[in-house]
């Protein structure tokens, strides 16, 4: 009798936009701010307009810049309208 070959499970690649925010190694303050606003996945994040981030307390231009840099490091293309700076909403 021949030994049964073990098959390796297929490698499933997860698209960057399908990843959880927690997998991105974001600074804790940014990850917590997004979680408080129910943004848990990258695709949810990418659907937001820059004005949304301006409504998050303590989420300024530097946090927005860090977020974009982290997304870029992980191969995620953020929307073109994210290239400008945030405008704070009162």
d(CA 11, CA 53): 35
Q: How far is CA 87 from the centre of its chain?
A: 20
Range of the domain at 68: 16-82
Least confident of 13-17, 19-23, 86-90: 86-90
Q: What is the pLDDT of residue 86?
A: 66
Longest dimension (CA), the chain: 76
> Is a pLDDT exceeding 90 seen at residue 90?
no
- Residue 53 belongs to domain with CATH number: 1.10.150.20
pLDDT in tens, 35-79: 999 999 999 999 999 889 989 998 999 999 999 999 999 999 989
Higher pLDDT, residue 48 or 88: 48
Supply the pLDDT for residue 40.
96
Residue 7, in any domain of the structure: no
CB 42 within 8 A of CB 16: yes
**Measured between alpha carbons, how far is 6 from 26 in angstroms, rounded to an integer?**
38
What is the pTM assigned to this prediction?
0.76
Question: Looking at the domain assignment, is residue 4 inside a domain?
Answer: no
Residue 42, in any domain of the structure: yes
């Amino acid at each position: 009798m021949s030994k049964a070959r073990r098959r390796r499970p297929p490698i499933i690649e997860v698209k960057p936009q399908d990843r959880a925010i927690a997998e991105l190694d974001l600074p804790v303050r940014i990850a917590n701010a997004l979680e408080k606003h129910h943004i848990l996945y990258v695709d949810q994040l990418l659907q937001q307009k820059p004005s949304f981030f301006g409504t998050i307390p303590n989420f300024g231009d530097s946090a927005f810049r860090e977020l974009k840099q982290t997304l870029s490091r992980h191969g995620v293309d953020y929307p073109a309208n994210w290239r400008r700076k945030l405008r704070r909403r009162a």
